[in-house]
Amino acid sequence: MKGSHKRINRNHLFYLMLLIPAFAIVSTCILLPLVKSILLSFQEYRMVGPLENRGKWVGFANFFSVLKGTELPNALYITLQFVCFVVVLEFLLALGTALSLHTGLGRVQAKRKNVLQTLILFPWVTPTVICALLWAWMFQPQYGVLNYLLNRFGLIHSPLAWLVDPSLALASVIVTALWRDLPFMFLMLFAGLQTIPKEPYEAALIDGAGTFRRFFSITLPFLRNVIRTTVLMAIITNFKQFPLFWTLTQGGPMERTTNLSVLTYKKAFIHLDFGMGAAIATVWVFGLVAFALLYTKVFQSEARE
């Protein structure tokens, strides 16, 4: 008994030692910068200006300043709009594509299926900045291919300023984000569909269930866990989206595409006010973490029911 107790302790020690390198890397690369950033949010830290003021502890002054102004609510509104549109459209399009490919699987040869899957994945494997640059050229009002094609087919008569018109800029970024992120969600949902057993469908068919009934009563419940995870990942990824926004519009025109990430970057690296930038980052990072916890809890309690 004593011997087995000793063996258990030695095993635990061994497991802990195996975890130390990973913990060290995570601490250095994630925890330390996070703690530093939070501490910075309580300081006045401008890269330009008198040196004696730099690093002065100002308590919650940065937070009050950020919450009092209109920039944070505006950025939050832009971010929520972007996330809602991208996630909902991404989910619907990915599910539709996955269902089409899944139901058509029997008629599609394995080789063609692989080719199709590779082609579908192409946008996702392209680096985000490259995607943004490609679309920036396509959206170019004077010589972009999009305006050329639309004009050619008579859909527009004068070039549209996709990234410069305040009413079109956010929609243009949304389109780019959809093109970029759709393949991943498609892949996850498609993989999820492949794991659903055939028997419930056969039983439902015998019972006379129609297509929609089978979809809502069998397909969606079986896909529940996959949907939960992929939607949460999509929400988080798009909430903190920066390269697309910055490469396409730099937050303009007139701050119509300044989301929370862009606002944080602008404050820290354009206005060179690290304290204010850290305060904005702290506010929305903790908000996002709280949302993720709540989201997971809601899904878990529904699963228990």
Partner 1 sequence: MKTILSVVLVFATAVSLFSGGTKESKPAETPKTIKFATWGVQEKGTQGYFEGFKSRFEAANPNIRIEWISYPYTQIKQQVLVMGAAKQIPDLIQAERGWLAGMISSGYTAPLDPSIAPEYMREVQPALKEDLSMDGKVWGAVWIYSPFILYYNKELFKQAGLDPAKPPRNYAEALDYARKIAQLKDKDGNNVYGLGITTGNVPVSGACLLSVLFSFGGGIWDTAGTVQADTDANREAMEFLSLLFKEKLNPEGAKLKDLRNLFAIGRLGMYLDQLWGLNGVKAINPGIIPSVGTSGPLGTARSAGKSTLEAHLLLLGKDSKVSKESGKLVDFLTGKEMLKEYLSVNPFLAARTSAATALTEAEPLLAPLKDVAGSIVSVKKHPNLEAAYLELTNAAQAVTVGKGDAKSTAAILDKKLKEILK
Residues that bind partner 1 (CB under 8 A): 46-51, 54, 140-143, 158, 161, 163-166, 249-255, 269-272
If the CB atoms of residues 44 and 90 are measured against partner 1, the closer one turns out to be 44
Q: Can you read off the two tokens belonging to residue 129?
A: 């900045």
End-to-end CA, the chain: 41
- Closest to partner 1 by CB, 15 vs 57, is 57
| Minimum distance of partner 1 from residue 246's CB (angstroms) | 11
- Which are the contacts of 128, defined by CB distance < 8 A and separation ≥ 6? 180, 243, 244
Provide, rounded to whole angstroms, the least separation between the CB of residue 269 and partner 1. 6
- To partner 1, the closest distance from the beta carbon of 166 in angstroms equals 5
Token digits of residue 99: 């269902």
Least Å distance, CB 47 to partner 1, is 4
User: Which residue, 90 or 255, is less far from partner 1 as judged by CB?
Assistant: 255
Please identify, using beta-carbon distances, which residue of 134 and 209 lies nearer to partner 1.
134
Q: Which is nearer to partner 1, 123 or 253 (CB)?
A: 253
Least separation in angstroms between residue 66's CB and partner 1 is 14
Please report how close the Cβ of residue 159 comes to partner 1 at its closest, in angstroms. 8
Report d(CA 1, CA 17) in Å as an integer: 24
Of 175 and 235, which has the nearer Cβ to partner 1?
175
Closest CB 233 distance from partner 1, rounded Å? 30
Closest among 248, 255, 245 to 136, alpha carbons compared: 248
Minimum CB distance to partner 1, residue 48 (Å): 3
Residue among 71 and 81 whose Cβ is closer to partner 1: 71
Contact 159, 149 (CB under 8 A): no
Residue closer to partner 1 (CB basis): 93 or 165: 165
Give the whole-angstrom CA distance, residue 60 versus residue 276. 11
Phi, psi (deg, nearest 5) at residue 57: -75, 125
